[in-house]
Amino acid sequence: MRVKSFNKIILSFIILAGFFFFLVPGATASENSCIDCHKSVTPFTEEQKRFNQIRIEHLERQVTCSLECHEDRIRNLTTTNYQQWSESVHALKGVACDACHGGDPTQATKEKAHANLKNTTDPESPVYYTNVPSTCGKCHPEELANFENSTHYHKLEALQLAPTCTTCHVPHTFTILNPEDFITTCGNCHSVYKKIAPYDIPLKAEDLLGQVNKLKFNIDMTGQDIFWAKKNGTDVTQAQQYADSALNRLQNLAPMWHEFNLTHFEDELDAANKDIRKAEMLVKPTATPTSTPLPKMPGFIGLAGVITLLLVWYLIRKK
């Protein structure tokens, strides 16, 4: 009996392992040598070890200097490119190192995997500063098309001194800026100190992105109202059309943002807000009174009329 139970346990384990590796999406090991290699690289590089040794020597010699510099440098260097990438949307989508940097991810050795790989400072590298837009555009064609219509892109091509994709979307983390980030990010150039006008761009950008978040909220709320109105038997065809139009405009705002034409962006945002307001007016539930309204007291004119009638009645009775 014990042998049979043990065999059942082994069989269950094999079935479970097969399910995990073959049926669960993303559970199988990626056949990508970039990931296999970089995830095993120690976060403490020789450079980091060197800085750590400097700290130790300073402490031993009782050198009175701030250790903040070395601590910050070590902390920043410890956060490796792989660690940043592994927490990004690119990692979730399976977009690995070779998609941007090139190389051959099917090779097991470093030399073969890095064959024909260009240094980031090489103008022929796909991640060289001015080549970044075309590299990102392979997967983000709408964003690239809008960016190519921007003043930023034209200056990048002509002067090689303008923002590119990685200016806003940090390499390897590929984060999306929050509205409050625009003051510092856009303000690096658009400020009276750098003398790059218009100076109010950071504030205007922050305001517009805040409005986009409000639009998302209003679309969600109106969608709920449409659902309940339809459930109660109301014809929501027209309201749904307005809501779909607002949602479509919202989805187009993200790639349009890369054109950096805030006037055009604001016009489309206003149009989306008008659509969702129209939808909301058609399905907005009527507020039910929570209590019986109190009877209205007679106003001044009504009170004067009552006094006049009483006075007439009194005079008549007196006669």
Total number of residues shown for the chain: 319
Calculate ∠ Cα 219-224-228, nearest 5°.
Answer: 145
Q: For 163-212, give the DSSP string.
A: --HHHHS-TTT-PPPPGGGHHHHGGGTSSTTTT-S-TTHHHHHHHHHHHH
DSSP 31: -
Burial of 275 (0-12, 13-18, 19+ CB in 10 A): buried
Note the pLDDT of residue 23: 43
DSSP 294: P
Note the pLDDT of residue 32: 76
Note the pLDDT of residue 19: 44
Contact 97, 120 (CB under 8 A): no
Which segments in the chain show pLDDT lower than 70?
A: 1-31, 38-56, 58-79, 286-306, 309, 311-312, 314-315, 318-319
Provide the Cα torsion 185, 188, 193, 195; round to 10°: -100
Note the pLDDT of residue 49: 63
Contact 250, 222 (CB under 8 A): no
Q: What residue segments make up the domains of the chain, in order of their start?
A: 29-94, 201-283
Note the pLDDT of residue 111: 87
Note the pLDDT of residue 72: 58
Contact 99, 110 (CB under 8 A): no
How many CA atoms does the CB half-sphere of 82 hold within 13 Å?
12
Report the C-alpha gap between 113 and 189 in whole angstroms. Answer: 38
Contact 44, 78 (CB under 8 A): yes
